[in-house]
Amino acid sequence: MTNEDIIQKIKNGLQNCCATYGIARQDIGIKISAGLMSGVNCVLLKDNTPVLNSAGKSTVISIKDLFGINAMEALLVGNHLGGTLSKLANNDKNKNITDKKKVNARMYSESPDFYPSVTLYEGDKVVNDSITIQDLT
């Protein structure tokens, strides 16, 4: 899969989340954090705040549903993203990170065509706002 394919899947995922959850393009985000065992957890955001489901819990979106891929691809992508978050947390550019377990990446859609931007966080604190999609792939 090329970078363009990955970017298109992310754009489609953000667009589908907007339609499904009734969130405006400029308000939507996806928080990606390392999972407990492996892979990643993805939480739907509106205005950088988790969207709560009917049970009052954060709305979790599977990699499979977000990117429209099969279960095996989702496992591989999730494991890859989890490893990438770990590498970013240990990168010299991000020396200001004190708790590597709290590192997460957030994807936003700031352009009309849903092209994603990415920001690296430690918990809720921005640590690097110059991350690119290519950094995650």
> Which pLDDT score is estimated for 17?
93
pLDDT digits (tens, 9 = 90+) for 75-116: 888 888 888 888 888 887 877 888 888 999 999 998 899 998
Give the pTM: 0.88
> Which pLDDT score is estimated for 38?
62
> Which pLDDT score is estimated for 2?
76
The torsion of the CA quartet 109, 114, 116, 119, rounded to 10 degrees, works out to: 0
CB 120 within 8 A of CB 128: yes
> Which pLDDT score is estimated for 112?
92
- Which amino acid belongs to residue 110? E
Q: Which two tokens stand for residue 87?
A: 């590498």
Residue 20, class by beta-carbon neighbours within 10 Å (0-12 exposed, 13-18 middle, 19+ buried)?
exposed
